[in-house]
């Protein structure tokens, strides 16, 4: 388990297994984003149980049953059932996002899945696929309990969205740089006010996560001081 407390940037790590969760924990992750073996889909309930046993780090679980960001009523019923089961298994929150057929945020679906509970959640990278970016970002703040949004600033990767990420850094919903993030992006983003970053788990284990941890804390800390 993590021994130190980090006060600068926030490091989110995508994981798929209990082992990856252990490595992320040891490497200094602040938050885990648990996906299925297919990183675009929700995990099995027993995986949530195993990951929760392996790590005490704040755990958010991806809620998505098919590729893309469209959902329907039948799927929503199942997603709400899974959300309840995941909470019972120890999840601290969720990651999800929906668009409608016009590539606008599906506010109805997002509000329905968020419900009137108390847990926080993260809006996934559907934001980058919205047709009208200004409208989409302005609508985010009106969603209940959304406390972060994963974004590359581009429908492609961070490399193509650095300026847009920086422009969103001080918006009403904190932005988490995600999607093809590289170490050389961090100094630029940190100087622009971005202090949350999401990375995939690494085959190199805890050492690679720890290197990201040091980089993010150094760069964000340098800006703050």
Per-residue pLDDT at 83 exceeds 90: yes
Give the residue extent of every domain in the chain. 10-224
User: Homologous superfamily of 10-224 in CATH?
Assistant: Copper homeostasis (CutC) domain (3.20.20.380)
The span from the CA of 52 to the CA of 139, in Å, is 32
pLDDT in tens, 11-59: 999 999 999 999 999 999 999 999 999 999 999 999 999 999 999 999 9
pLDDT, position 172: 92
pLDDT above 70: percentage of residues in the chain: 96
Q: What is the pTM of this model?
A: 0.94
DSSP string spanning 126-180?
A: GGGG-SSHHHHHHHHTTSTTEEEEEE-SSSS-GGGTHHHHHHTTTSSS-EEE-SS
Confidence band of 223 (pLDDT split at 50, 70, 90) = confident
């Amino acid at each position: 388990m993590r021994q130190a407390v980090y006060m600068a940037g926030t490091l989110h790590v995508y994981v798929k297994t209990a082992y990856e969760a252990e490595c992320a924990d040891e490497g200094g992750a602040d938050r885990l984003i648990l996906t299925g073996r297919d990183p675009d889909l929700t995990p099995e309930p027993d995986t949530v149980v195993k990951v929760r046993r392996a790590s005490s780090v704040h755990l958010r679980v991806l809620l998505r049953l098919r590729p893309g960001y469209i959902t329907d009523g039948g799927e929503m019923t199942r997603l709400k059932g899974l959300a309840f089961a995941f909470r019972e298994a120890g999840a601290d929150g969720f990651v999800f996002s929906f668009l409608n057929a016009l590539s606008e945020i599906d506010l109805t679906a997002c509000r329905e899945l968020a419900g009137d509970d108390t847990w926080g959640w993260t809006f996934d990278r559907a934001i980058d696929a919205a047709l009208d970016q200004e409208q989409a970002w302005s609508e985010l703040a009106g969603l209940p309990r959304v406390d972060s949004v994963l974004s590359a600033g581009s429908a492609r990767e961070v490399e193509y969205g650095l300026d847009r990420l920086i422009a969103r850094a001080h918006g009403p919903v904190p932005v988490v740089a995600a999607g093809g993030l590289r170490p050389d992006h961090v100094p630029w983003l940190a100087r622009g006010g971005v202090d949350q970053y999401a990375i995939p788990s690494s085959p190199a284990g805890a050492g690679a996560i720890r290197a990201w941890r040091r980089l993010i804390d150094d760069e964000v800390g340098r800006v703050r001081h």
